[in-house]
Amino acid sequence: MNFDRVSRFAFAAALSLGFVSLAGLTSNRAARADDTKPYVIENGRVDKHVFNGYRRYGDNCLRCHGPNATGSSYAPDLTDSLKHMTKEQVEETIINGRMDVNTANQNVMPAFGTNPDVVENLDDIYAYLKARSDGALGRGRPKQIGEDDD
């Protein structure tokens, strides 16, 4: 666990969020073992972090980035973006948003820095997106490890 990164992130988050509770953020992060492969997938089934990320993604991101994070005419394919963005860059973009001022259509990535449903689940959203980007997770609703077959 890299505490320097934790504190830098907490500091950046504190700057941009001001008031959002960081206790949940840091403890969630402390539970994450490996940032380069921040997910566990066994026989196509995902851990609870990835499943939670899938759900939060569906609630907050899907309407622009598409049902499987593969993008839309409005917003980029995140399975592609995650191949060349660092975790910090992804988190920074989610917290602060971004506007592409160079395009004629002015597509906007909203800032989620004051949205606890996103901020408190950043690690899990990242884990879901990374699993999709790595090709470790297919399309659609994943099954959780331990979940019954139906």
Q: Measured from the CB atom, is 100 or 147 closer to ligand HEC?
A: 100
Stretch of 7-15, 29-37, 39-47, 94-102 lying at the interface with ligand HEC (CB under 6 A): 94-102
Q: Measured from the CB atom, is 58 or 138 closer to ligand HEC?
A: 58
Residues 103-132 that bind ligand HEC (CB under 6 A): 107-110, 112, 118, 125
Q: 13, 46, 90, 131: which one contacts ligand HEC (CB under 6 A)?
A: 90
From residue 34, how far is each of 64, 68, 83, 119 by CA, in Å?
A: 29, 23, 17, 20
- The C-alpha atoms of residue 44 and residue 91 are separated, in whole angstroms, by 26
Q: Measured from the CB atom, is 46 or 118 closer to ligand HEC?
A: 118
Which H or E run contains 108? strand 108-109
- Cα dihedral across residues 16, 18, 23, 24: positive or negative: negative
Contacting positions for ligand HEC (CB under 6 A): 60-61, 63-65, 74-76, 78, 81, 90, 93-94, 98, 100, 107-110, 112, 118, 125
